[in-house]
Amino acid sequence: MTLDHETRARATTRQLLRVDDDSVFAYVRGLSFIRCRDEMPWAHLSHGQLFSNRSGNCLAYKIGAVYYDATTHEPLYYESS
């Protein structure tokens, strides 16, 4: 049985949801974030910062359960379990 992206993300312990619409964007596997739409490793967490796997750039920083844009400091995502 194959699970769709939303079901798979809900089945994991931690999820990354968009602040603007509460949709599941990625699920967390260890310190890696797997993007739901294509199941690709998207980013990783290191020292409270979220880094792009592709470019290595800092995408966001984490305070509590919220991830803020590294440039604008606007809330982007929040983590849910």
Average pLDDT, the chain: 89
Specify whether the CB–CB gap between 77 and 66 falls below 8 A. Answer: yes
Q: What is the mean pLDDT of residues 23-40?
A: 93
The backbone torsions φ and ψ at residue 12, rounded to the nearest 5 degrees and listed phi first, read -85, 165
DSSP bridge partners of 74: none
Q: Is the pLDDT of residue 12 over 80?
A: no
Specify whether the CB–CB gap between 25 and 36 falls below 8 A. Answer: yes
Q: Is the pLDDT of residue 58 over 50?
A: yes
Q: What is the mean pLDDT of residues 41-52?
A: 96
Residue 7, pLDDT score: 56
Residue 3, pLDDT score: 54
The backbone torsions φ and ψ at residue 5, rounded to the nearest 5 degrees and listed phi first, read -60, -45
Q: What is the mean pLDDT of residues 63-79?
A: 97
